[in-house]
Structure 1
Amino acid sequence: MNNTDSVKLPTGWHKTFITLWAGCFITGLGYSMTMPFISLFMEQLGNYSKFQINLYSGLAFAMTFIAQAIISPYWGNLADRKGRKLMCMRAAGVMSLTIFITGLAQSAIFIICMRFLQGLFSGYINNATALMAGETPHQRSGWVMSQMMTAGTAGNLVGPLLGGALSSAFGYRIPFFITGGLMFMVFLGTLFLTKEDFTPIPAKKMKPMKRIMQELPDLRLIIIMFITTMIVQSSTMSIDPIVSLYVKSLMPHSHSVALVAGIVAATPGLGTMLAASKIGHLMDNVGAKKVLRWGLLVATILFIPMTLIANAWSLAFWRFLLGIASAALLPAAQTILTLNVPPEAFGRIFSYNQSFQAIGSVLGSLLGSLISGIFTYQWVFAATGAILLVNLIIVLFDRRKNIIKD
């Protein structure tokens, strides 16, 4: 038995964990049920050129994250004063409305505007993760962070398949309506079923962020994790906006593009879900930093064959392997943050991490859309692999300087 298995958990912890896990699952489900097909949805709303539809697809992805990058520090400050549960409720409630209304869109510009509004109030998964980080003993942080990621990735696995089937049968609007209803259920579940051991802190008694940064035992390590979060997220988002269009280019005469695109979009989630638990326990045993280094190395290598694929099923296979490697990336960075940040600053530190994640989403989605619009889709994979290589070099360089230690 792993020595972390016997760690005593707070009263009500399991119900809170299950509820938040389910909320993250539904959030991932709703996102992946709609977003892989948003470019195909927008194609139906106007007579757009290839460059325009690629650009609008990138903007539709990017606008949510631009808004998140701007507003996250404010929500993080509020979370440290009022609690993360309230932030989860805020995100789920507003997302239920904005996603539903997006299904009523009549133009690509309207979708982009709604995505920006959604971004101003979103952040369920990040706040749920921060809540669980504060409620979980450090000896089990690696496993819990991995499981919280598993929730979103499990949703990402099921979502494209369900979204592809629904879109093929009923059109691209229906998944938005269903997602809006599901997010309202998440709001109710979070309200009534979760418990947070949190005492509100008056604004006057909160430590300034500058002082917290000065008191961190290893500020440079925290900054490295912010940068890692940004780069890893950009590597994911460079592919997501164009995956359905890429699949369409690989099978131009097929009548099942949406379904196959859904399968291709889902395969990384399957890999992550299968590997997350073992990698989580591995982090608790050998250290999150070592797992992060190996994860970056493997992910970088996997992007090489993706530049050479000739059909959609080869793309699905390599993305499945990439999903396994991804289980060692963001959860490892979040675990390192959890173990090196005081509990009273979780909200703000995780909000800054969310801002870097949002910036990575913006950079990645715009990079992928612009490169694919100007050159070919294969160049997107080459550029993404190069970005991950930069991240790996940063981590290894800082290891030599003993900034990252096991």
Structure 2
Amino acid sequence: MDSSWKRIIYLICTIQVGGGITIIGVVSFIPLFLAELGLHDQGQAAMWAGIVSGVTPLMVALSAPYWSRKANQWGPRKVMMLILFILMITVGACAFTQTPMQLLILRILQGVVGGYVPIGLAIIVLITPEKKVPWAMGLYQASMVMGLVFGPLMGGLVADFLGYRAPFFVFSALTGICMLGIYFLMPNLQFKHKVDESVSEISLIKYFLSIPRVRLLVGMLFLCNFGITGIGPILPLYIKHYMHMTDEFVATIVGIIIFGAGLFSALASISISKVTRCVTMPRIVFTATWAVGTLFILQYMMPSIWGLGIFRAIAGFFMGFVTPIANTLISKAVPVECRGVVFGAVSSVAMMGNVLGPVISGMIARTFGYGAVFWTTAAIFFVAALFIYRNLVIPSESDASH
């Protein structure tokens, strides 16, 4: 194990990129695909795009503790193969949908089997030497982000050139390749500490959220997920109607903007181990959160697509620091024997940001206009920055001074 832990982490990160592409790849073209399915009203399209995009992470959030427990019982290899197999089938079936409701049902099923992120985190905690955990967390977060950005870019390109149904076939094939990667390359790992079957998922979540630092950090993960995914479903419509773009290349442009933000986010994540040598983790999270709030306002103020894209990319850079640092601090805040289970429990709460982001953004856009989404998200990040400063930065610097 000592000589192969890095190889396993690289494999898990690669699978995470493929899985992320599959789950989030529809964002860049889903509002346009819904129009093909019969939704032509702008308000309805925005609302349905938010629901279809948000329902998958909702089911992921609800099912994550279940799959984490199954991975604890059966081993992560079997569970990840099962998840990827079902995901491959349901994604391919989306290409044959004829109504928005059919698409919604399949997206629900994809979410039910989408709980592989906390399994990957648990594997990292299991096999990574203690001193290398921040590096491994940063790399895993970078892989998650790259999945989130390559997905819309790939989906947008395929949709623009081959039609809105073709991306589902591409994503299904990619998921199949990931499943084969697990089958041939993943060893049969077993978690050292088994979960008591008499303890429910709700009890685990309540226990971990009773720890003040964990509660605050999970809130930050929730917020970061909200900020990353919330703007996605309305971005194609915002660009089309406020920046006077034709339908022909909207999906590709959205994919490029999301790709740029994700690329900068990934660069931040993989540089965390170097940055934390100079600045404390709480101070990094505070600075990054405040900067993201400011940058969402600047995105709204941009009159051109590329100005919007540049500030979106810079915001992505700062968001890239938040999640891996929060996960590292969470792992340090719980007992060693609980670290493998904690991510399944708290991930279900944090992933609700992926749910509420698209849904609430769609509702805000329909009621108050697309611009209100930028201002609302910025305000939430500013409030979060104040909480971080009060509850993490001040206590940590006070302890250091003593």
Q: Normalising by the residue count of structure 1, what TM-score does the alignment of the two structures yield?
A: 0.89
What does the per-residue CA deviation read over 1:170-191, in whole Å, with 9 as the maximum and x for residues that have no partner? 1011111111111111112112
The Cα of 1:208 is off from its aligned counterpart by 7.5
Partner secondary structure for residue 177 of structure 2 = helix
Shift of 1:295: 1.4
SS at match of 2:301: coil
Match of 1:317 among 310, 317, 320: 310
The equivalences for 1:3-14 within 5 A come to 10-14=2-6
Q: Which blocks of at least 5 consecutive residues in structure 2 are unaligned?
A: none
Query: Is 1:340–2:333 an aligned residue pair?
Result: yes
Shift in Å at residue 305 of structure 1? Answer: 0.7
Alignment-mate amino acid for residue 52 of structure 2? A
Structure 2 distance, partners of 1:144, 1:91, is 23
CA 1:110/1:403 → structure 2, altered by over 3 Å: closer, same or farther? farther
Identity %: 23
User: Aligned partners of 2:222, 2:230: CA distance in 1, in Å?
Assistant: 12
- Give the superposition deviation at 1:235: 1.4
What CA distance in whole angstroms lies between the structure 2 residues aligned with 1:327 and 1:247? 24
What is the Cα deviation at residue 218 of structure 1?
8.6
Residues of 2 paired with 1:217 and 1:374: CA distance? 34
Q: Is the 8 A contact 1:77 1:347 kept in 2?
A: no
Compute the displacement of 1:33 (Å). 3.1
Picking from 282, 295, 306, the partner of 2:288 is: 295
Match of 2:298 in 1: 305
Distance 1:31 1:211, change over 3 A: closer
Partner of 2:33: 41
State how far apart, in whole Å, the 1-side matches of 2:194 and 2:132 are. Answer: 30
Question: How far apart, in 1, do the equivalents of 2:276 and 2:395 lie?
Answer: 19
Deviation at 1:266, TM superposition (A): 1.4
1:92 CA drift (Å): 1.7
Alpha-carbon offset, residue 78 of structure 1: 2.5
1:233: which partner in 2? 225
SS of residue paired to 1:297:
helix
Residue of 7, 25, 30 corresponding to 1:15: 7
- Residue 300 to residue 11, structure 1, CA distance change in 2 (3 Å): same
What is residue 3 of structure 1 aligned with on the other side? none
Structure 1: distance between partners of 2:245 and 2:206: 56
CA 1:113/1:396 → structure 2, altered by over 3 Å: closer, same or farther?
Answer: same
The corresponding residue for 1:367 is 360
Q: Distance in 2 between matches of 1:274 and 1:199?
A: 31
1:70 and 1:216 map into 2 onto residues whose CA distance is 16
Please say which of residues 107-116 and 187-196 is displaced more in the overlay: 187-196
Corresponding residue for residue 395 of structure 1? 388
* 1:321 shift after superposition: 0.2
- Tell me if structure 2 keeps the 8 A contact 1:217–1:340: no
What is the distance in 2 between the residues matched to 1:213 and 1:168? 43
Q: Which residue of 2 aligns with 1:350?
A: 343
Deviates more, 1:84-93 or 1:147-156: 84-93
| Counterpart for residue 112 of structure 2 | 120
Distance 2:364 2:342 in 1: 33
What one-letter code is carried by the residue in structure 2 that aligns with 1:397?
Answer: R
Greater shift, 276-285 or 122-131, is seen at 276-285
Between Structure 1 and Structure 2, how many residues are aligned? 398
Shift of 1:223: 1.1
Cα gap change, 1:317/1:298 in structure 2, threshold over 3 Å: closer, same or farther? same
Counterpart-to-counterpart distance in 2, 1:211 and 1:139: 30
Within a 5 Å distance, the mapping from 1:106-145 to structure 2 comes to 106-145=98-137
Q: Is the CA contact (8 Å cut-off) linking 1:142 and 1:280 kept in structure 2?
A: yes
Residue 241 of structure 1 aligns to a residue whose secondary structure is: coil
Provide closer, same or farther for how the CA distance between residues 297 and 86 of structure 1 changes in structure 2, counting only shifts above 3 A.
farther
1:244 correspondence with 2:236: yes
SS at match of 2:153: helix
Give the aligned partner of residue 151 of structure 2: 159
Aligned partners of 2:89 and 2:208: how far apart in 1?
A: 39
The answer to whether structure 1 residue 185 and structure 2 residue 177 are counterparts is yes
Distance 1:105 1:48 in 2: 17
Moved more, 85-94 or 270-279: 85-94
Residue type at the aligned position of 1:260: I
Question: CA distance change for structure 1 residues 96 and 147 in 2, over 3 Å: closer, same or farther?
Answer: same
Give the Cα–Cα distance (whole angstroms) in 2 for the partners of residues 334 and 280 of structure 1.
13
Normalised to the residue count of structure 2, the TM-score between the two structures is: 0.90
Consecutive unaligned residues of structure 1, counting only runs of 5 or more, are: 1-8
Instruction: Report the Cα distance in structure 1 between the residues aligned to 2:365 and 2:203, rounded to whole angstroms.
Output: 44
Does residue 50 in structure 1 map to residue 56 in structure 2? Answer: no
Give, in whole Å, the separation in 1 of the partners of 2:231 and 2:346. Answer: 21
Q: What is the deviation of 1:304?
A: 1.7
CA distance in 2, matches of 1:217, 1:162: 37
Q: Partners in 1 of 2:214 and 2:28 — Cα distance? A: 32
Report which stretch shifted further, 242-251 or 314-323: 242-251
| Cα 1:309/1:108, change in 2 over 3 Å | same
Aligned match for 1:73, one of 38, 42, 65: 65
Cα distance change of structure 1 residues 78 and 346 upon mapping to structure 2, 3 Å threshold = farther
Of 196-205 and 247-256, deviating more is: 196-205
1-structure distance, mates of 2:204, 2:369: 46
Q: Deviations over 1:262-313 (max 9, x none)?
A: 1122121111122222224323664433322221121122112112121211
- State the alpha-carbon separation in 2 of the partners of residues 364 and 165 from structure 1: 24
Question: CA RMSD, aligned part only?
Answer: 2.7
Q: Find out whether 1:281 has 2:274 as its counterpart.
A: yes
Residue 173 (str. 1) matches residue 165 (str. 2): yes
- 1:96 maps to 88
Q: 1:110 to 1:240 in 2, by over 3 A?
A: same
Query: Is the 8 Å Cα contact of residues 265 and 316 (structure 2) preserved in structure 1?
Result: yes
